[in-house]
Amino acid sequence: MNFASPEFRVKVGLSEMLKGGVIMDVTDASQARIAEEAGAVAVMALERVPADIRAEGGVARMASIEKIEEIMQAVSIPVMAKCRIGHAAEARILQALQVDFIDESEVLTPADEENHIWKHDFKVPFVCGCRNLGEALRRIAEGAAMIRTKGEAGSGNIVEAVRHLRAVQREIRRLTTLAPEELVAAAKELEAPLDLVQWVAQNGKLPVPNFAAGGVATPADAALCMMLGAESVFVGSGIFKSEDPARRAAAIVKAVAQWQDPQALLEASRHLGMGMRGLDVSRLTPEEMLSRRGW
Amino acid sequence: MVGILALQGDFAAHRHALSERGVATREVRKPKDLAGLAGLVLPGGESTTMLKLLAEFGLDAPVKESVAQGMPVLATCAGVILLAREVQNPPQPSLGLLDAAVVRNAYGRQLASTVATLEVAAPDELPFPTLEGVFIRAPKLVQLGSGVKVLAKRGQDPVLVRQQNILAATFHPELSPKHPVLDLFLQLVRRGQ
């Protein structure tokens, strides 16, 4: 893969700019302004937050154009929007709309159960979810300019995000210890392209920024993701399903900026009101687990 | 020791670029991290976020004081927005240390982000005919004060300027391999200005 092409560098460049920040799910202009005011580095324009998608069911699609435009007009920070896995036509529409980033997301109902979008065809950068290193490298091979571990969206439960972050970091560390001939077997096992496996083995990290998502509900959850190697955090339902969204959003921003400082985390965790209620992920059936969508 | 403001943004890319040149760096997240620095980098990222966090963690006044006292500074993209005299599109507060106005997202959204070829306007400081410039949702510098020297242009737009100890790029030299602007900054650091 040619990471040095100007097109790819410009895509990954925006991912670099979003590091150390919080990307917040919003469903209208007023939520977008609350997010920007709280210090979000970007917003994700959505029709419904994942917790509502989970509760209401039905087919979840790309948000309406009017909704996304309303949000783009409301804020000066980058605006992301989600398309369904494999839905290249939704992605083309989002690119024509000039969103800043597309999330090919398992939170929406997949359009293709076998293939993801060939993201090299697009000028706009993509972020994709993963549960492990192999999945991350397959998405990067397809052209993703940012990876986020999936976690379990709309659950308010950090356990799956931790599982996925740990899996990616553990597999990266393992690759750095292998001999060249062993990397071929590792590529087979990971179901990932050999050149990307070799790149990770040599550099000890992913070739694109690695963010975390899915289940972040508190400043402490966000800080835990950073401790486990995430470079930024996506927060979905955790903010606007809580008692005091503006305060919680600002607190999560502070926690990500000062994740190494327990005293700052303590201050960020005060007076937040009730968090979102959350789900026991172990009671979800496999069909109810959004993170199992995509491969 | 060169400090890199690490509240948010591409501080890791700056750190990597400087350490490739054998320069020791420190991430600046608290006022105490500014002590004893020979230079400071204000990285790219989201200026709205950085502005809030600068105030939140009490860094705005000490950073302003250090720069006003002559500490060499390299500001890239959002860093330039933090330093400007005035910010437009939309208006927002700033540290007011660089005598120029800056228009945020002046080229458009991410689809307008690009790698462009820049013309050097001050070959005495940068002995190269052209430079590469990685522009990400870049701002534009306008209404430059008389003490601001233009070092490089993209078409008609000044994209690299120097005002005494302040070196300001609306693009990202830290995202180009072996970019001369980082060497120019390190010259300022070594000269103590």
A231 in contact with chain B, both atoms CB, cutoff 8 A? yes
Min Cα–Cα distance to chain A from B27, Å: 11
Quick: pLDDT tens for A152-198. 999 999 999 999 999 999 999 999 999 999 999 999 999 999 999 99
Q: Among A9, A36, A100, whose Cβ lies nearest the Cβ of B109?
A: A100
Residue B44: its chain A contacts at CB < 8 A? 16-17
What integer pLDDT is reported at residue A282 of this predicted model?
A: 86
What integer pLDDT is reported at residue B192 of this predicted model?
A: 81
Quick: pLDDT tens for A85-105. 999 999 999 999 999 999 999
Given a cut of 80, is residue A106 above it in pLDDT? yes
Contact criterion met (CB < 8 Å) for B10 and A17: yes
Catalytic residues of A: 82
DSSP string, chain A: --TTSHHHHHHHHHHHHTTT-EEEEESSHHHHHHHHHHT-SEEEE-SS-HHHHHHH-S---SPPHHHHHHHHHH-SS-EEEEEETT-HHHHHHHHHTT-SEEEEETTSPPS-SS----GGG-SS-EEEEESSHHHHHHHHHTT-SEEEE---TTS--THHHHHHHHHHHHHHHHHTTS-HHHHHHHHHHHT--HHHHHHHHHHSS-SS-EEE-SS--SHHHHHHHHHTT-SSEEESHHHHTSS-HHHHHHHHHHHHHTTT-HHHHHHHTSS---------GGGS-GGG-GGGS--
The tens-digit pLDDT sequence of chain B (193 residues) is 999 999 999 999 999 999 999 999 999 999 999 999 999 999 999 999 999 999 999 999 999 999 999 999 999 999 999 999 999 999 999 999 999 999 999 999 999 999 999 999 999 999 999 999 999 999 999 999 999 999 999 999 999 999 999 999 999 999 999 899 999 999 999 998 5
Contact criterion met (CB < 8 Å) for A41 and B104: no
Q: Which residue of B has its CA nearest to A102?
A: B110
Quick: pLDDT tens for A271-290. 999 988 888 888 888 888 99
Mean pLDDT computed over every residue of chain A: 96
Contact criterion met (CB < 8 Å) for B45 and A100: no
What integer pLDDT is reported at residue A145 of this predicted model?
A: 98
Q: What is this structure's pTM? A: 0.97
Question: How many independent structural domains does chain B possess?
Answer: 1
Q: Which domain holds residue B124?
A: 2-190
What integer pLDDT is reported at residue B193 of this predicted model?
A: 55
A95 in contact with chain B, both atoms CB, cutoff 8 A? yes
Which residues does A230 contact at the CB level (< 8 Å), separation at least 6? A149, A165, A210, A211, A212
For the segment A203-211, the average pLDDT, to the nearest whole number, is 97
Catalytic residue among B14, B125, B172, B179: B172
Is B65 in the active site?
no
Quick: pLDDT tens for A110-137. 999 999 999 999 999 999 999 999 999 9
Residue B136: its chain A contacts at CB < 8 A? 10, 13-14, 17
Residue B147's CATH number: 3.40.50.880
Task: Average the pLDDT over each of A55-59, A219-223, A232-236 and give the range with the smallest value.
Answer: A55-59
Min Cα–Cα distance to chain A from B169, Å: 15
Using 50, 70 and 90 to split pLDDT, how confident is the model at A1?
Answer: confident
